[in-house]
Chain A
Amino acid sequence: MSARTKGTASFSRRQFLKLSAATAGGAALVGCQFVPATASGESIDPAKVPGILIDLTRCVGCGNCQRSCIAANDLHPSQEELSTLSADTYTYVQRYDLPGGKTRFVKRQCMQCLYPACVSACTVGALHQTADGVVAVDARKCIGCRYCQYACPFNVPKFQWDSALGLVRKCQFCLGRLAQGQGPACADNCPSGALKYGLRGDLLQEAHGRIAAHPEVYVDLIYGETEVGGTSCLYISDVPFDQLGFPKLGTDPAPHYAESMMKRTPTIAVSVAAVATGIYSVLRWRSDHGHVEIDVREEK
Chain B
Amino acid sequence: MVTSTADQKRLRWNGARSALREALPSYLNPGVQILAYLTVIGVLAGIWRLFSGLGAATNLTDGIPWGIWIGFDFSLIAISGAGFTMAGLVYVFRQEQFRPALRPAVLTGLLGYTAVLALLILDLGRPDRFYHFLIYWNLHSPLFEISWCVLLYTTVLLIEVSPQVFERLNRPGPVRIVHAIIVPLAIVAVTLSSLHQSTLGTLYLNMPYRLNALWYTPLLPLLFFTSSVSTGLSVAIIAYKLATRFTGQQAQPRVARGLGSLVAGVLVFYLVLKLGDIILSGKAPLLLAFDRMSLLMWIELIVGVLAPLAIFLAPSVRRTEKGQWAGAILVVLGTLISRFDATLFAQTAPPGATYVPHVVEWMTTAGVVAAAALAWYLGARLLAVFEKPNGHH
Which residues of A come within 8 Å of B, CB atoms? 16, 20, 28, 31-32, 34-35, 39-40, 85-86, 117, 119-126, 141-147, 149-151, 153, 155, 158-168, 247, 249-250, 254-255, 257-259, 261-262, 265, 268-269, 272-273, 276-277, 279-280, 283-284, 287, 293-297, 299-300
Contact bitstring B221-256, A, C-beta under 8 A = 1, else 0: 100000000000000000000000000000001100
Tell me the minimal C-beta distance from B25 to chain A in angstroms: 37
Please, how many angstroms separate the alpha-carbon atoms of A164 and B54 in the complex? Answer: 7
Q: Return chain A residues, CB-CB under 8 Å to B55.
A: 161-163, 166
Q: How far is the CB of B141 from chain A (nearest CB, A)?
A: 5
Q: Which of B97-113 contact A (CB under 8 A)?
A: 97
Q: Which interface residue of B133, B142, B210 has the most chain A CB atoms within 10 A?
A: B142
In the complex, chain B residues whose CB is within 8 Å of the CB of A124: 132-133, 135-138, 141, 144
A273 and B187 in contact, given A122-B138, A123-B133, A247-B209 (Cβ under 8 angstroms): yes
Instruction: Report chain B residues within 8 Å CB of A146.
Output: 65-66, 125
A-B contact pairs, 26 of them (CB 8 A): A32-B139, A86-B62, A121-B140, A122-B138, A125-B138, A142-B129, A143-B124, A143-B129, A146-B66, A146-B125, A151-B207, A153-B209, A161-B61, A161-B62, A162-B55, A166-B126, A255-B140, A257-B218, A261-B205, A261-B218, A262-B141, A265-B145, A276-B92, A293-B94, A294-B95, A299-B254
Whether A254 lies near B143 (C-beta < 8 A) is no
Q: Are A262 and B125 in contact (CB under 8 A)?
A: no
Q: Is the pair B137, A34 in contact by a Cβ cutoff of 8 Å? A: yes
Chain B, residues 54-93, CB within 8 Å of chain A (1/0): the string is 1100001110011000000000000000000000100111
Bound state CA distance, A287 and B94, in angstroms? 10
Q: CA of A279 to CA of B191 in the docked complex: distance in angstroms?
A: 14
- Assess whether B206 is in contact with A255, with CB atoms less than 8 Å apart: yes
Query: Are B145 and A125 in contact (CB-based, < 8 A)?
Result: no
Instruction: Indicate if the CB atoms of A276 and B190 lie closer than 8 Å.
Output: yes
Cα of A276 to Cα of B143 in the assembled complex, Å = 25
Do residues A144 and B139 form an inter-chain contact, with CB atoms below 8 A? no
CB neighbours (8 Å) of B186 from chain A are 276
B128 within 8 Å of A (CB atoms): yes
Complex contact A296–B97 (CB within 8 A):
yes
Flag whether B174 is at the interface (Cβ < 8 A). no
The distance in angstroms between the C-alpha atoms of A147 and B210, with both chains bound, is 12
Asked if residues A272 and B194 are in contact (CB atoms below 8 Å), the reply is yes
The number of residue pairs between A and B whose CB atoms lie closer than 8 Å in the complex comes to 211
Q: Bin chain B's interface residue count.
A: 35 or more
Contact of A16 among B125, B139, B184 (CB under 8 A): B184
- In the complex, which of the residues A151, A273, A280 contacts B91, with contact meaning CB atoms closer than 8 Å? A280
Residue of A nearest to B128 (CB): A165
Cβ–Cβ contact A150 & B65, under 8 A: yes
* A167 and B191 form a contact (CB under 8 A): no
Once A143-B132, A258-B202 are accepted as A-B contacts, the answer to whether A16 and B141 lie under 8 Å apart by CB is no
Within 8 A of A (CB), among B179-217: 183-184, 186-188, 190-191, 194-195, 198-199, 202-203, 205-210
**Of the residues B93, B94, B145, B218, contact of A262 by C-beta under 8 Å:** B145
Give complex CA distance A144, B126 in Å: 6
- Which 8 A-B pairs have CB atoms at the shortest separation, nearest pair first? A144-B125, A161-B55, A34-B137, A166-B125, A125-B138, A164-B53, A258-B205, A123-B143
